[in-house]
Amino acid sequence: MPDAVSEATPFSGSAATIAISVHGPVGVLDMVVPVGATPVDVGRAYADQAGLSGIPLLQTPTGGHLRADLALGAIGVESGTVLIAATGVRRPKPADEAALRDHPAADSPQVAAVVLALAVGAAALSAWYAALSGDDWLRTVTVGLLLTCALAGSVPWGRHAHQRTAAAPALAAAAAFAAFFEPGEHLLAAVVAVCGLAAALTAAIARAMSAGRHQVLTVWIVAGCLVFGVCALSPLMKWDDRVSWALLLMLAMLGARFVPSLAVDVPDEALLDLDRLAVTAWSARDRSSGQRGRIVIPQSAMRRLVEDATLTVTASSAGILLVTLVATPLMFASATIDLDRIGARCLAFFAGGAILLAARQYRHAGARRLLRGAGLACWLWLLAFEVRDLSPTWVTWGLLTVVVLGLVSVAAAVATGRGWRSVWWSRKAEVAESMTGAFAFAATVVASGLFRALWEMTG
């Protein structure tokens, strides 16, 4: 067969191309293929041009096999390379078998995160069951296992170290809950404070041993210390526990608003040339003879800045979701007087609305979903506690009303389309967020019992 020059079938990948020669059983075929093409694509193109019934295997002139799952550019194939199209069955060499055996498995952080999230959920359920069982032996075994898992997970070495160290503080908090919770005791705020302190200490240990970046652990430390400070305030001041739950919910609402500005910390030298701004009397008189070059920020530094801010914002959003899931039902359960219950309802409604409105400002999809889940969690807990006190007739009518309003909202959103992102809607949403935040502040005074205490003192 005479030599032929042709372009292989277009492949997805880089726009750069390379020229190669493929020697096969029916002759030599010169091809111009993209760098992102795989040996299978080249073999298929050779089979089509040569009229072969099967796709040949590509090898180097020395007999080395080309991996079918890698692109030619990644293998090292350049323009002018000669490849061999073999049609027979190839048995792997002992060296190839050893390379496949020693090659590490592909990293899958998403799967590891899901598995560890399930492990944290199982740890929380086991701690809850051990605390309510009343069996001291079962509680001791559960606490020991959870502490062992927390300490083992805080070691920042091996595969999926980031996921393990992020889950270790939650395991420590579960162990603290199983160890200190007592059914019937009115010290739930103190127990939650100890859980927050345990999580913060575990995160601090993991951060001290870690040599890399640790934004998630920093969020654990800050959140654990805040929970400890707020929840320890009620037992120390001999206040009711609902003060702590109301304050936690308010802090979660404020965190959804101010976390991005705290997480995205851009150094001044990345934005301004401070040397050009530092003009004093002496520098103005003295003229420098050197030429000043442009300051260029490395792309790797900006990428690292964006990745760190993304991790911080996402971890903070997950912490806000966790706080709302825990603090909202505890606030409703502790509000037994009618006036306090009204304040708790208003706080849950307005705090949930403020978090939902704050989520629209997030461009990161994961953080936005977490904040929307936190806002909806406040409303769902409010609905659950309200449904418990209503008759079946009111529950039926309420569910029908919610379904109708949901359908109307979906229809309005589809009809409006991208109009929700316009400047006019953004201003309205900003005003609505400010109003809901102000109402949530006012409701905190009532939900915490401060308004009722002042009323009783002056009454």
Is the separation of the CB atoms in 20 and 39 below 8 Å?
no
pLDDT at residue 174 above 70? yes
Identity of the amino acid at 452: R
CB neighbour class for 20 (10 Å; exposed up to 12, middle 13-18, buried from 19) = buried
Token digits for 111? 């799967």
| Percentage of residues in the chain having pLDDT higher than 70 | 77
198 touches 173 (CB < 8 A): yes
Phi, psi dihedral angles at 5 (to 5 degrees): -120, 125
Strands of 17-24's sheet in order across: 4-7, 27-34, 17-24, 82-86, 57-59
What is d(CA 47, CA 359) in angstroms, rounded to the nearest whole number? Answer: 54
Q: For residue 57, what are its two tokens? A: 């295997």
Q: pLDDT tens, 175-192? A: 999 988 887 666 888 899
- First vs last C-alpha separation in the chain: 107
304 or 6, higher pLDDT? 304
Give me the pLDDT at residue 97, please. 47
User: Could you confirm whether domain 4-89 is CATH 1.10.3720.10?
Assistant: no
> Which residue intervals of the chain bear CATH 3.10.20.90?
4-89
Cα 447 to Cα 300: distance, rounded to the nearest angstrom: 48
Per-chain mean pLDDT for the chain: 77
- Higher pLDDT: 397 or 217? It is 217
| Main-chain phi, psi angles of 273, to 5 degrees | -90, 95
Q: What is the pLDDT of residues 421-449, one digit of tens each?
A: 566 777 877 888 889 989 998 888 888 87
pLDDT at residue 88, as a whole number: 61
pLDDT of residue 56: 79
Most confident of 290-299, 333-342, 348-357: 348-357
Q: Is the pLDDT of residue 134 over 90?
A: no
